[in-house]
Amino acid sequence: MNIDNRTMIGVVGGMGSYAGIDLIQKIFDQTKADTDQDHLPVIMISVPHLISDRTEFLIGKSENNPALAIADVICSLYKQGATIIGMPCNTVHTESIFNEIINRIPTELQLVHMIEKVAEFINEMHPSVKNVGILSTTGTFMSNVYPKSLSKYGLNGIQVSEVIQTNHINPAIYNPNYGIKAHSNPVKHKAMNKLHKGTEYLINNDAEVIILGCTEIPLALKDDKINDIPLIDATKILARTLIMKSSPEKLLE
């Protein structure tokens, strides 16, 4: 490939801010490269003050659909040369947000649907699995977007109970004193412990793999497995998809 013809990857940052950084690092980590020049062109725009919280919109606490601001960011990325776009936020892929974004961006752009790619990955790479655990924000939890995508492959999506979602998973992400959005580097032990309440529930309810279905969660749970149960990093799958769509020969095996 002519280096000047490489397809630029665009990243919508700010949802949360460390999630965008994590995606870019995983793009670099999954790229075959021996020199600076071997890496793919990537551009990120992070304007978190303009993008309202996705869960707040989905649970009815905000009437401001974040799709409008996100579409503006994507159009700005496009003007800078990006034609393949990744959004490191699972919640933004729910229908009422994602479809509105699609309606507002140029049709020639490739906007990766991370959740569909995660479901596809599990179907291909874990063919014997039937029960898939899901850790996510409350917005993603309520929308059932993961169980819907998984069901296309005959997979059973298992979410935590409402009590665990409310008392453990949501605070692990959002609590201002210890949540990952407020304390991303390093993540507080209390947030990690609360996430483990979720993994324990999912394993006890027969989950054979667990999706880290919020881009904050891989910042806390960095191992590949927990109690021999594979952890599926949605951000890593998004990174690999972006590389594949940009320059498939550059993707690490």
Catalytic residue positions? 89, 214
In whole angstroms, what is the distance from residue 29 CA to residue 40 CA? 11
In whole angstroms, what is the distance from residue 86 CA to residue 35 CA? 24
Residue among 111, 103, 101, 114 nearest 67 (CA) = 101
Q: Encoding tokens for residue 202? A: 């999912």
In whole angstroms, what is the distance from residue 89 CA to residue 165 CA? 18
CB under 8 Å to 222, separation ≥6 — which residues? none
Say if residue 16 is preceded by a cis peptide, omega within 30 of 0: yes
What is the DSSP secondary structure assignment for residue 128, as one 8-state letter? T
Backbone angles phi, psi at 204, to 5 degrees: -65, -20
The residue to which tokens 């776009």 are assigned: 85
Strand residue runs (E) in the chain: 8-13, 42-46, 82-86, 110-111, 131-136, 156-159, 209-213, 225-226, 229-233
CB 155 within 8 A of CB 119: yes
